[in-house]
Structure 1
Amino acid sequence: MVEQITPRQFHDGAGVEGWRMLAHGVCAYFRTGSFQAGAQLVDAIAELADAANHHPDIDLRYAGVTVRLITHEVGGLSTRDASLARQISEVAHELDIPADPVALHDIDLTIDSLVAPQVMPFWRAVLGYTQVGDADLEDRFGRGPSIWFQEMDAPRPQRNRIHVDVWVPHDAAEARVEAAIAAGGHLVTDEHAPAWWTLADAEDNEVDVATWMGRD
């Protein structure tokens, strides 16, 4: 039986210091510096994953490898994710490939809607996405951002209906918020921090900088 764990339990565990909980699982970014080194790491991860019968999503680029773990059977994290994350970190260390948590983020889009059932089919068709539940659309290939339809009771004058959610490592959120404000943005509210901060640009287009903190 798969044992579910919380993000806090994951982060409190040993050997997962390079991993961070984001919107869609725990992630690690390994700076390889070359495609060959990245391929070597991916090969090692594939062996570990097959042995554990637990397979992560892996993105291989020239400069680095991003790995994402989640247990779909429980709709979140499990001890299987923690165990495989430790093993992956160990093999990366053996290959002298460092983890860089600051490089991680997830991006989701949120559409405020009064009639979501009428709006969602359009976005599903135009993006080629798959509907998940009553309020979410996902890229079936895992390449694009997820889209969440947030129900509204009434229109909100002078406010855009679409905003961006940027999920960042919990220990990088305040720096990201400060950088955005320094770049010309302003804080709309921090009443939900550290779960999320709502910021806006000079034309009041909004973005939430989000973390897993305050949600478990």
Structure 2
Amino acid sequence: MGPLASRGDLGHAEVMTETMRHGVAQEAVGAAGWRVLLSEIHTYVPTGSYTRGLELVNDIARLAEDAGHHPDVTLRYAGVHVRLTSHDIGDLTQRDVDLALAITAAVRARGLETRIEQLAVTEIAIDALDIPGVLPFWQAALRYQADGYDTLVDPLGLGPSVWFQQMDAPRPERSTFHLDVTVPHDLVADRLAAVLRAGGTLLSDERAPAFWVLADPEGNEACLCTWQDRSTA
């Protein structure tokens, strides 16, 4: 099951459109089992069966309709993933916090619990000298939608987004592709240690805790990212 509902979250929530700083949002929802990833808050609820998951999704649907604010919900056999953001402003607001807390209450009322261990958002980053020149190729190949000047997104909300990073000069000594993996801020140290134990090399921690640049044994790069130390923190 894909997104429960999506972009038209205006209506009775219009009065609460002020952007919430990500650190404030994280503090508000952390104990309820949610984590800030990029400009969204996420949680995962193991249900153990499709039927229990569907019952929870129905609870979430009722809460969303009452609030006039709608999360993206993915139902799978073993559990339910929920992500919240205020689509009309492209960031977090009090609406997201309020609905997250209401969803957690519904989760607990069913004897379930929110979990954060596997939460992550993956993006594909492509370094390019001429972003307008290369972006249409990838848009056509993926059937993605343009989101601003330098980002492509899956219109179904299923695949990773692709963003293009401006290069000043060719870099033949390194790949122009890498993955950005955004994980919960309080779990990134464990993830970083696991990557290093698995043969990874830390190339740079200059921008940590926003991101760490790592490479596999053949030099292919990935960044581990968090919401921290960014302009919206």
Coarse TM-score class (shorter-chain normalised): over 0.9
Residue equivalent to 1:29: 44
From the superposition, tell whether residues 14 and 115 of structure 1 become closer, same or farther in structure 2 (CA, over 3 Å): closer
Equivalent residue letter for 2:140: A
- Give the match for residue 133 of structure 1: 148
Three-state SS of the structure 2 residue aligned to 1:5 is coil
Paired residues of 2:129 and 2:166 also in contact (CA < 8 A):
yes
Gaps of 5+ in 1: none
Q: What aligned pairs does 1:92-107 form with structure 2 within 5 A after superposition?
A: 92-107=107-122
SS at match of 2:219: coil
Q: Gaps (5+ residues) in structure 2?
A: 1-14
Aligned partner of residue 102 in structure 2, secondary structure: helix
For residue 72 of structure 1, give the secondary structure of its aligned residue in structure 2: coil
CA distance in 2, matches of 1:213, 1:31: 27
When normalised by structure 1's length, the TM-score is 0.97
Which of these residues, 74, 79, 84, is aligned with residue 94 of structure 2? Answer: 79
Which amino acid letter does the alignment assign opposite residue 82 of structure 1?
V
Q: Give the structure 1 partner of residue 104 of structure 2.
A: 89
RMSD: 1.1
Offset at residue 107 of structure 1 (A): 0.3
Pick aligned residue for 1:108 from 116, 123, 132: 123
Tell me how many residue pairs correspond in the alignment: 216
Q: How does 1:191-206 map to 2 (within 5 A)?
A: 191-206=206-221
Please tell me whether the aligned partners of residues 34 and 43 of structure 2 are also in contact (alpha carbons under 8 angstroms).
yes
Question: Does structure 2 retain, via aligned residues, the 8 Å contact 1:15–1:86?
Answer: no
Query: Residues 154-173 of structure 1 correspond to what in structure 2 (within 5 A)?
Result: 154-173=169-188
TM score, norm. by length of structure 2: 0.90
Given the alignment, which residue of 18, 30, 55 partners 2:70?
55
Hey, which bits of structure 1, 4+ residues long, moved more than 4 A?
Answer: none
Aligned-residue offset at 1:23:
2.3
Deviations 1:123-168 (A, max 9, x none): 0000000001100000011000000100100011310000000010
Task: Return the alpha-carbon distance in structure 2 between the equivalents of residues 64 and 161 of structure 1.
Answer: 36
Percent identity (aligned)? 44
Letter in structure 2 aligned against 1:196: F
Please say if residues 26 and 35 of structure 2, whose CA atoms lie closer than 8 Å, have aligned partners that are also in contact: yes
Does the aligned pair in 2 maintain the 1:16–1:85 contact within 8 Å? no
> Which AA in structure 2 matches 1:120?
L
